[in-house]
């Protein structure tokens, strides 16, 4: 069994790679979960994932007291109403600070469960069991938890690190093609911001990745998790370097908010945001003209969009960007590319370049892609 440790002093935790554990194909590592929790467990899942893996997970927990909350499926349900419902069931079930919450599902389930764990009785333990590609390589690692507000994505939340993350690559076999591709956007982001060798590996292995070859998936997920774990360990609360992980997200979150949560998947919005960030970087003269072409080819090969939905308005788009969590008192901050594999954070915004990027994409362009 492979593992990675997110090094955060007394809040350090492992990421375990356990193919077959959640799906029930291989239970050789089931003691992992048993050793990490007390006698009381509260599982949060959604209608889709629960039908696939809830029974299998419950079998790993033995004779513990287990309560379950099944939330509706979709980004539109990533709300305070769900937090209230979870806390209500925790209280009704007599759960104490010794209870361990388990998030069984994708990014929405992980974010909602993590935030509920952060605020219930001022904080209880949570274990992330991500079942989508996006949640395995991104949202389950790093301790960011949140729900959405009508005016902005992830605006209500807390930093709350999990006790562990348990990944079963076999759960990815049941993802729809659209959901699988959405997860690949975060992987492309990791390569583009931090590792040119990884970017080249993705280019060379597109076919096996899209075929969901288990060995390729394991290599890819572990590579992305190592990048994210290292960045999080260096800047847990996003005071500096961790902001690099938001490459494409200032644009992407605006797309999600304005389109309506769930209409555009998060990974799809990130793919569009990556193209906008690359375009802005070219226009502000930090990136070569050839880089967006390579980026667009990789995203397109992973069945991801590189153009924006129709009907978005520039004034609304700018306003949504300015509400972004990464903005400071000095104004907007953007993650820019200096090369594929090298990103920087800047608050020195080239207004002319930004206006040109917005005009180009909102009018239906996809730069040199």
Quick one: CA torsion of 116, 120, 126, 130, rounded to 10 degrees?
A: -10
The span from the first CA to the last CA of the chain, in angstroms, equals: 40
Q: How many CB atoms are located within 10 Å of the residue 322 CB?
A: 12
CA distance 288 to 65: 57
Identify the architecture of domain 2-174 in CATH. 3-Layer(aba) Sandwich (3.40)
DSSP state of 62: T
pLDDT at 367: 46
Q: Given this model, what pLDDT does residue 239 score?
A: 86
Where in the sequence numbering do the catalytic residues fall? 122, 144, 186, 228, 238, 242, 246, 249, 253, 266
Residue 369 has pLDDT above 90, yes or no: no
Strand duo 125-130 + 164-167: pairing: parallel
Across the chain, mean pLDDT equals 94
pLDDT classification of 368: cutoffs 50, 70, 90:
very low
Which pLDDT belongs to residue 186?
98
| Bridge-based pairing state of the strands 144-149 and 100-105 | unpaired
| Residue-wise pLDDT tens digits, 172-188 | 999 999 999 999 999 99
Question: What residue segments make up the domains of the chain, in order of their start?
Answer: 2-174, 177-362
* 366: confidence class by pLDDT, cuts 50, 70, 90: low
Q: What is the pTM of this model?
A: 0.92
pLDDT value at residue 29: 76
The Cα–Cα gap between 344 and 244 comes to 7
Tell me if the domain spanning 177-362 has CATH number 1.20.1090.10.
yes
In this structure, what DSSP letter does residue 52 have? I
Q: Are 224 and 176 in contact (CB under 8 A)?
A: no
For 296-314, b/e burial (b = at least 16 CB within 10 A) is: bebbebbebbbebbeebee
- CA-atom Rg of the chain in angstroms: 20
> Quick one: pLDDT at residue 271?
98
Kindly write down the DSSP assignment for every residue of 125-151, as one continuous string.
Answer: EEEEEE-SHHIIIIITSS-EEEEEETT
């Amino acid at each position: 069994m492979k593992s990675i440790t997110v090094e955060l002093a007394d809040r350090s935790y492992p990421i375990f790679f356990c193919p077959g554990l959640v799906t029930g194909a291989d239970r050789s590592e089931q003691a992992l979960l048993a050793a990490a929790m007390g006698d009381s467990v509260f599982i949060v899942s959604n209608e889709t994932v629960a039908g696939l893996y809830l029974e299998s997970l419950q079998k790993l927990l033995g004779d513990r007291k287990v309560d379950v909350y099944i939330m509706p499926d979709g980004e539109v349900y990533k709300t305070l109403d769900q937090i209230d419902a979870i806390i209500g069931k925790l209280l009704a079930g007599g759960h104490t600070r010794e209870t361990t919450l388990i998030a069984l599902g994708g990014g929405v389930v992980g974010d909602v469960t993590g935030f509920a764990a952060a605020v219930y009785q001022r904080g209880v333990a949570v274990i992330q069991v991500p079942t989508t590609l996006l949640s395995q390589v991104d949202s389950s690692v790093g301790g960011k938890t949140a729900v959405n507000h009508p005016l902005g994505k992830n605006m209500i939340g807390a930093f709350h690190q999990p006790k562990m993350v348990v990944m079963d690559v076999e759960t990815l076999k049941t993802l729809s093609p659209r959901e699988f591709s959405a997860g690949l956007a975060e992987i492309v982001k990791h390569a583009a911001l931090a590792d040119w060798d990884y970017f080249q590996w993705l280019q060379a292995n597109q076919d096996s990745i899209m075929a969901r070859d288990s060995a390729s998936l394991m290599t890819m997920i572990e590579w992305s998790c190592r990048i994210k774990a290292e960045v999080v360990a260096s800047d847990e609360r996003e005071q500096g370097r961790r902001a690099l992980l938001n490459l494409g997200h200032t644009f992407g979150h605006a797309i999600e908010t304005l389109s309506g949560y769930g209409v555009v998947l998060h990974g799809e919005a990130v793919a569009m945001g990556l193209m906008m960030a690359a375009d802005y970087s070219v226009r502000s003269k930090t990136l070569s003209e050839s880089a967006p072409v390579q980026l667009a080819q990789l995203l397109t090969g992973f069945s991801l969009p590189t153009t924006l939905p129709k009907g978005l308005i520039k004034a609304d788009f700018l306003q949504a960007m300015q509400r972004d969590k990464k903005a400071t008192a000095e104004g907007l901050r953007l993650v820019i590319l200096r090369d594929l594999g090298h990103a920087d954070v800047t608050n020195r915004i080239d207004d002319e370049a930004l206006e040109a990027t917005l005009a180009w994409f909102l009018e239906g362009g996809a730069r040199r892609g």
